[in-house]
Amino acid sequence: MERLAKPVTRPLTGEEYLESLRDGRRVLFQGEWVKDVTTHPAFRNAARSIARLYDALHAAETRDTLLTTDRLGISTHKFFTPAYSPADLLGARDAIALWQRMSFGWMGRTPEYKAAFMATLGADPDYYAPFADTARNWYRECASKVLFMNHVIVDPPVDRNRPPSEARDVYVHVVRETDGGIVVSGAKQVATASALTHATFVGVNSGSAARLQEGRDDDLALVFFVRMDNPRQILISRASYELKAESPFDSPLASRFDENDAFLVLDEAFIPWEDVLVYRDVPKAKRFYADSGFFNRFNFQTTIRMAIKTEFMLGLLQKSLECNGTADFRGNQVMVGEIVAMRHLFWSIVTAMAHDPEPSLGGSVVPRLEYAAAARIYTNFAWDRIRQIYERLLGGAPIINVSNYRDLLNPEVQPILERYLRGTGMPAKERSKLYKLVWDAMYSEFAGRHGLYELNYAGNHEQKYLDALSWAERRGLMDQFEALVDECLAQYDLDGWKDLAWSWSPDGSA
């Protein structure tokens, strides 16, 4: 995993993080194997954006907000250890927010995302018996170094009309078992930012797990880790928006915050027993996703991130309207106010998640499932509405810009640009810079990928609602809702009110 001169038993520094990525991982990009993701122009700036997070763990002005000491005496990021009280969750909230503000909410799979699961391993390792030691050891390693984990829990969109057992040529499954571990083959998606991580978590999400059946799909009922230097793990990366970004002026977000997604293939990859959490156990493969508290916790992280990203988009929209001279138009203020309300809603859910948690494994607490389910739905669908508002209020203004930064350096056309491309009280260069940022956030290829990410990272559009309903049924909430209606129905009949507190007569008189 890491090729450092000395074993590290504390949070990595930025430089140590970058060094740890030079481990021979197999990343395919544009027909070639990437020799070093920390220097390759498709990945290097994103890697340095992550390295800045690690440096913040050691900086005097930020480390107290970010770090805590867990019950084992490990100094770690506050979201990398289980929470045991609302105060712990509030501390984690502030640590997540500090990291997220460093990328303005534009990097969704930063290290604390998968810490939503990895921390739960420390709360009750025995839940994963007979692989309790796997949970225990991975928690220690992850917490002590603040490891960056990626995850793949979605089956490829192939043969989904057939039972999983009939798609073994594609889906991750056990090929054979050995004394030292298991050999697995198959593919998973979407391995976001995986080229820059320390290990892959392979599991099943709620939608995939629902299709598994005991006695038929046991060889697919797996949860395990794959270290990035595994020679039989292949990452097939999509196009790099960072690579296409010619300058920060033209692509201020894509040039440094592109979390390159990958299609992950395991080609008879050997997984030692010490990296296995669930093996041939359909019931546990179905339950762990909810039982672990991962769902509750990852929505805590994503809601904080989305609140910060919404704040960024609010500031960007307001500055753009001021540039156009339309910030005081009543209709524009109405829609800006709508996004303000979204921002308040997200932070309110975060507050409820922290102050009103529910018990979880090993005496820990996690954000309440009902709040997590609601956050999952409303944060995922918010982005479409934000983009819609941008399109209505800014119209064609984002299109009107120079081709790239070199146009602004041409002395012959500078007077023309200054006259016709200026903003309201804003010189042409600053107006161009502002709207280049709008374009990168809303309309570039990088922005298009973010639209897909925000809508789908937490599951398909139907599963989000189905899960909310299913969990409400399992917890008896739907019975409570119906009981409330039954109480109302029981208070009257054809003869009138049954409670003397109200009066009624057939002719309508009191």
For residues 372 and 297, what is the distance between their CA atoms, to the nearest angstrom? Answer: 8
Which helix (DSSP H) or strand (DSSP E) does residue 335 occupy? Answer: helix 330-355
Of residues 22 and 6, more confidently modeled: 22
CA dist 163 and 161 (Å) reads 7
Q: What is the pLDDT of residue 289?
A: 80
Q: Minimal CA–CA distance to 418: which of 399, 433, 431, 403? A: 431
Average pLDDT of 461-480? 92
> In sequence order, which residues have a C-beta less than 8 Å from that of residue 319 and are 6 or more positions away?
434
Task: Give the pLDDT confidence score for residue 2 in this predicted structure.
Answer: 42
Residue 62 DSSP symbol: T
Question: Is there a binding annotation on residue 182?
Answer: no
pLDDT at 5: 44
Distance between CA atoms of residues 294 and 282, nearest Å: 18
For the cut 70, the answer to whether the pLDDT of residue 469 exceeds it is yes
Rounded Cα distance, 448 and 445, in Å: 5
Annotated domain spans of the chain:
14-290, 294-474
Confidence label for 510 from pLDDT (cuts 50, 70 and 90): low
Contacts of 317 (CB under 8 A, 6+ apart): 336, 339, 389, 390, 393, 394
Q: Which of 183, 195, 201 is nearest to 243 (CA)?
A: 195
Express each pLDDT in 302-317 by its tens digit.
Answer: 999 999 999 999 999 9
pLDDT, averaged across the chain? 94
pLDDT at 460: 83
Which three-class secondary structure string do you get for 368-413?
Answer: CHHHHHHHHHHHHHHHHHHHHHHHHHHCCHHHCCCCCHHHHHCCCC
Looking at 68-82, 111-125, 488-502, which range is the least confident one? Answer: 488-502
List 171's β-bridge partners, or say none: 187
Q: Is 151 annotated as a binding residue?
A: yes
Q: What is the mean pLDDT of residues 363-372?
A: 97
Q: How confident is the model at residue 345 (pLDDT cuts 50, 70, 90)?
A: very high
Query: What does the pLDDT look like over 251-271, one tens digit per residue?
Result: 999 999 999 999 999 999 999
Model confidence at 91: pLDDT above 90: yes
Any idea which fold 294-474 has? Answer: Butyryl-CoA Dehydrogenase, subunit A; domain 3 (1.20.140)
Question: Among all chains, which residue has been given the structure tokens 């996703």?
Answer: 289
Q: What is the dihedral of CA 132, 138, 139, 140, to 10 degrees?
A: 110
Tokens linked to 257:
């915050």
Which two structure tokens, joined as six digits, stand for 351? 């507050």
- Domain 14-290 classification at class level: mainly beta
Residues 6+ apart with CB under 8 A from 119: 79, 80, 81, 82, 139, 143, 297
The average pLDDT across 70-85 equals 97
Residue 222 near residue 279 (C-beta atoms within 8 A): yes
Which 8-state DSSP code applies to residue 433?
A: H
152 in a labelled binding site? yes
Q: Does 413 count as an annotated binding residue? A: no
d(CA 456, CA 146): 26
Q: Which residues of 417-438 are buried (b: 16+ CB within 10 A; e: fewer)?
A: beeebbbeebebbebbbbbbbb
**Residue 508 banded pLDDT, cuts 50, 70, 90:** low
pLDDT digits (tens, 9 = 90+) for 380-390: 999 999 999 99
- Main-chain phi, psi angles of 173, to 5 degrees: -150, 165
Closest CA to 234 of 223, 225, 226, 222: 226
Report the chain's C-alpha Rg in angstroms: 26
Q: Could you tell me how far CA 219 lies from the centroid of its own chain?
A: 28
Cα distance between residue 46 and residue 195, in whole Å: 10
Q: Rounded to whole angstroms, how far apart are CA atoms 144 and 1?
A: 14
Contacts of 91 (CB under 8 A, 6+ apart): 68, 78
Q: Are strands 492-493 and 496-497 parallel, antiparallel or unpaired?
A: antiparallel
pLDDT score of 461: 86
Phi-psi domain of 496 (left: phi exceeds 0; alpha: psi -120 through 50; beta: other) = left
Residue with tokens 């390159």: 260
CB 445 within 8 A of CB 244: yes
In this prediction, residues 200-211 reach a mean pLDDT of 86
pTM over the 0.85 mark: yes
**100 residue type, one letter:** Q
CA 98 to chain centroid: 16
Token readout for 486 is 């039954």
- The fraction of the chain above a pLDDT of 70, given in percent, is 98
- Which of the residue ranges 230-239, 244-253, 491-500 would you say has the lowest mean pLDDT? 491-500
